Structure 1
Amino acid sequence: MTTMPADAPVTPSPRKAALRAAALDRRDALEIDDRLEWDSEIAARVLALPVWESRGPVSAYWPMRSEADPRPILEALHDRGLPLCLPAIVDKHMIFRRWAPYEPIVPGGFGTLVPAPAEPEAKPAILIVPLAAFDRRGYRIGYGKGYYDRALAELGPTVSIGIGYGAQEIEAVPDEPHDRRLDWIVTERETIRCG
């Protein structure tokens, strides 16, 4: 599998852009009450995965727009004693900074919130990632910048878990050589072991 340099631009794929837009439209159309209920179901499924023997840091993301909300997962993992971190983009590169529930977060660009720049960096052993669209093979479409694909390539052996809603599933992501397949995809409906 080809690894992209951290600052390599991702060439936009018109096919992926169309699939992304359609999947985001479906996600945005979901009722908020349903999404709140489904977030709880997703959290229960993720917390039941057989991956938590790792004591290394777990990274998730701060949700934006209508993304599945990983914060209940993070709070439960924090209660279990696992160290947490959140991603931040620095000089077009995704890094991870230590964070715990209720600690301060600051605007991080792209509409995200991130730990303060003074927080120490961490190397996650488990990465919970957002999905714009996904397929059952474990390929995802994100927002088109390639940050997660590069991060997964750079981190080396890492358990990767994509979370989203069943409405975001598509038949096949047009995967490219730099795309990284996820280990798991979890929706409100099911847990999919990929690869």
Structure 2
Amino acid sequence: MIVPVRDMKKQLRGEALARRDALDAAWRIEASLAMAETAAREIAVEPGTVIAGFWPMRSEVDVRPAMFALMEAGARLCLPAILDKTTIVFRELKRGEELIDMGFGTLGPGPDAAVLDPAIVLVPLAAFDARGHRIGYGAGYYDRAIARLTEGGHAPRLIGIAFDCQHVAAVPDEPHDVVIPEILTESGLHRLG
């Protein structure tokens, strides 16, 4: 019996997230801080470079220290804002501005914040393989957002964010999947593919 790709991804996602959930909370904080140091060292930004990060949920890497390290280097930050069941845009994140509930346990800038086209996108991952194929959370928001940026003439640098334990042997391919050429984990910035 052939297992549908969607089911295979669901199983891989569940297994990778269970491994991530099992990580000690204090260790996750230390790993996130180490990843921020790597980001500051390995991700060169020009003043004004727009970087899309994300507000962490559940046991995800806390990418906020990395985002703020990059901001200190001159980057402008933005976060995803969920518009509907299929669409996210990236709204500018500014100190002191109110963040609103985006669902899924995340926060983001409100509708008055500027919508930006990021030059670098830090992409949350549920699982990834050595080819740069990823599994997200199943809604396809990032695949569509990245496709929309590309169709609009932008070619953002894509950097997946995950812990090493989220690595899987192989992610099944689907035509709409976006390959992530770099993954930042606690062991460094890895160039894949």
What TM-score, normalized to structure 1?
A: 0.89
The one-letter code matched in structure 1 to 2:183 is I
- Please give the alpha-carbon distance, in whole angstroms, between the structure 1 residues aligned to 2:6 and 2:47: 36
- Please give the alpha-carbon distance, in whole angstroms, between the structure 2 residues aligned to 1:163 and 1:193: 12
Q: Secondary structure at the match of 2:143?
A: helix
Q: Paired residue for 1:165? A: 163
- Please give the alpha-carbon distance, in whole angstroms, between the structure 1 residues aligned to 2:49 and 2:147: 18
Deviations 1:111-134 (A, max 9, x none): 211111111111111000111111
Q: Secondary structure at the match of 1:96?
A: strand
- Please give the alpha-carbon distance, in whole angstroms, between the structure 2 residues aligned to 1:100 and 1:52: 18
Flag structure 1 segments of 5+ consecutive residues without an equivalent.
1-10
Is the CA contact 1:60–1:87 (under 8 Å) kept in the aligned structure 2?
Answer: yes
Is the CA contact 1:54–1:125 (under 8 Å) kept in the aligned structure 2?
Answer: no
Is the CA contact 1:95–1:121 (under 8 Å) kept in the aligned structure 2?
Answer: yes
How many corresponding residue pairs?
185
Is the CA contact 2:82–2:89 (under 8 Å) kept in the aligned structure 1?
Answer: yes
What TM-score, normalized to structure 2?
A: 0.90
Q: Secondary structure at the match of 1:175?
A: coil
Q: Paired residue for 2:35? A: 42
Is the CA contact 1:78–1:101 (under 8 Å) kept in the aligned structure 2?
Answer: no
- Please give the alpha-carbon distance, in whole angstroms, between the structure 1 residues aligned to 2:5 and 2:110: 31
The one-letter code matched in structure 1 to 2:38 is R
Flag structure 2 segments of 5+ consecutive residues without an equivalent.
none
Distance 1:159 1:51, change over 3 A: farther
Q: Paired residue for 2:61? A: 68
Is the CA contact 2:50–2:76 (under 8 Å) kept in the aligned structure 1?
Answer: yes
Deviations 1:66-112 (A, max 9, x none): 00011001111222221110001102211010112453211012221
Q: Secondary structure at the match of 2:79?
A: strand
User: How does 1:9-48 map onto structure 2 within 5 Å?
Assistant: 13-48=6-41
